[in-house]
Amino acid sequence: MLCRAVRLKTRFDKRKSVEIMAFEHWGYTFEGAWPNPNNLEPRPGVYVIWCRTGTTWSVLDAGESQDVKTAVLSHPRSEEWKKKCAGQMFFAATYTPSLEQAGRKEIEQKIRQISHPTCG
């Protein structure tokens, strides 16, 4: 995955503070990539589903949603992701609270044009 890691940040929720991983790719800062999609947040944004096989990372899918976590957890192509990934899947998102769907779609399309996801 050709990207630049950024400093760990601290996110606060009602129960605890959580350190999160973040990286920059395609001109956006993504939180993740996590092996568990439950680490995604139920906020507006653009998500990327990765497959890591050895040291090689590839994009399985990308999408946008008003609720990233729910979209990924209930995605109709999730079984296809599992079939296409010979390694381990990872999940990441860039959150875009100030963008409407059209703006999120624009980011999604940019990622799809550059990365050529194997699913979707």
Q: Looking at residue 97, which CATH number applies to its domain?
A: 3.40.1440.10
Domains of the chain: total = 1
Average pLDDT score, the chain: 88
Please report the pLDDT score of residue 2 as a whole number.
44
Q: Is residue 32 assigned to a domain?
A: yes
**43-80 per-position pLDDT tens digit:** 999 999 999 999 999 999 999 999 999 999 999 999 99
Is the pLDDT assigned to residue 8 strictly greater than 80? Answer: no
Q: Is residue 58 assigned to a domain?
A: yes
Peptide bond into 93 cis (omega under 30): no
Specify burial of residue 105 (Cβ count, 10 A radius: 0-12, 13-18, 19+).
middle
- By residue range, what is the domain housing residue 99? 26-115
Confidence of residue 19 (pLDDT cuts 50, 70, 90): low
Q: What is the pTM of this model?
A: 0.86
